[in-house]
Structure 1
Amino acid sequence: MIKALLSALLVLVAVTSTFGKYIPKSGKRIPQTLSRGWGDQLIWGQTYEEALYWSRSRNKPLMVIFHLEDCPHSQALRKVFSEDNEIQKILDEDFIVLNLVYETTDKHLSPDGQYVPRIIFVDPSMTVRADITGRYANRMYAYEPADIKLLLSNMQKAKKLLKSEL
């Protein structure tokens, strides 16, 4: 009887942990207002300059998300993005993240125009990874909720740094 109860409890714990939200190794963090709903357990850069500094000093790629709060396409992507545990884990461990509701003065971050949502990767060598694109020819850096697997694949490409020694 006890073995059956313990087995059931173990299965229950395994199922619960599988469906739970991602929790960083360092433990649950207080949600930041800088996340704007894109991943409350992640540590977000406040400005582009700060994120570039973190990227360079920690030798991690930077993911920049351009979006608008009232854009339905941004809202749909944000929902899927924030609920995907694999994306949240990879971002927490291997990336510096920044989300912006305004354009930067760096024109390299809009190689094919200014639209939202748009996700651009920047190498720690401060090189914009224009080679990592989404599936649309007219909006090369746009992703839709159905493109999450492509985004994960592109995140893996961005992890392969252009210059390993800085």
Structure 2
Amino acid sequence: MARVTVWATFCFTISLLIICIAAKAPGNGFGEDIEWKTLEDGLKEAKEVNKPLMLIIHKSWCGACKALKPKFAESEEIKKLSSSFLMVNVQDDDEPAGEKYSPDGAYIPRIFFLDPSGNVMKEFYNEDGNEKYKYYYPTPDNILKSMQKVLKEMPLERKTNEEL
């Protein structure tokens, strides 16, 4: 009887561990110490907590994506600000379909900021970049600038819902 109890406890513990590991979305090279969400979970949580979402669309084979990943992961400023966003990165076949996620083309990497309702906020883009590729960010400094702008221009909406 004791063997059965030990075996059942072991199986339960392993199952729980697998669930916990599976629940966290991978960093895919963008920093494992950031709390990443799947797009589905991020969109759902954004509505619940009234928080903006940052979405990175990239490919595993992309040279520009590979160049950005370590710079992004090493940025302490991005790590700090990431707690004010729901952070999502989608790679390869997980890229969401639709014009919504490619308003000026399907180049990669693309970084978007979504409002709590899941709408792409087109007014937040790399202002220092190429007008043809607004959502392409080659450096963490450009990303950080947009993150700060999103937080600066959205606080009233967040405060209103928090006070309710």
TM range, smaller chain: 0.7 to 0.9
Match of 1:137 in 2: 131
TM-score by length of 1: 0.72
1:52 equivalent in alignment to 2:43: yes
Q: CA deviation at 1:107?
A: 2.4
1:64 equivalent in alignment to 2:55: yes
Cα distance in 2 for partners of 1:155, 1:68 equals 22
Identity of aligned residues (%): 33
Cα distance in 2 for partners of 1:74, 1:150 equals 15
Count of aligned pairs between the two proteins? 132
TM-score by length of 2: 0.73
SS in 1 for 2:133: coil
Match of 2:86 in 1: 96
CA RMSD across the alignment: 1.9
**Greater share of helix residues, 1 or 2?**
2
Give the aligned residue type for 1:110. Answer: S
| Alignment check: 8 A CA contact 2:53 2:86 kept | yes
Q: CA deviation at 1:155?
A: 0.1
Off by >4 Å, runs of 4+ in structure 1: none
| Alignment check: 8 A CA contact 1:65 1:118 kept | yes
Structure 2: state its 5+ residue gaps. Answer: 1-20
Structure 1: state its 5+ residue gaps. Answer: 1-29
Q: CA deviation at 1:42?
A: 1.5
Cα distance in 2 for partners of 1:71, 1:45 equals 22
Match of 2:69 in 1: 78
SS in 2 for 1:128: coil
Q: CA deviation at 1:33?
A: 6.0
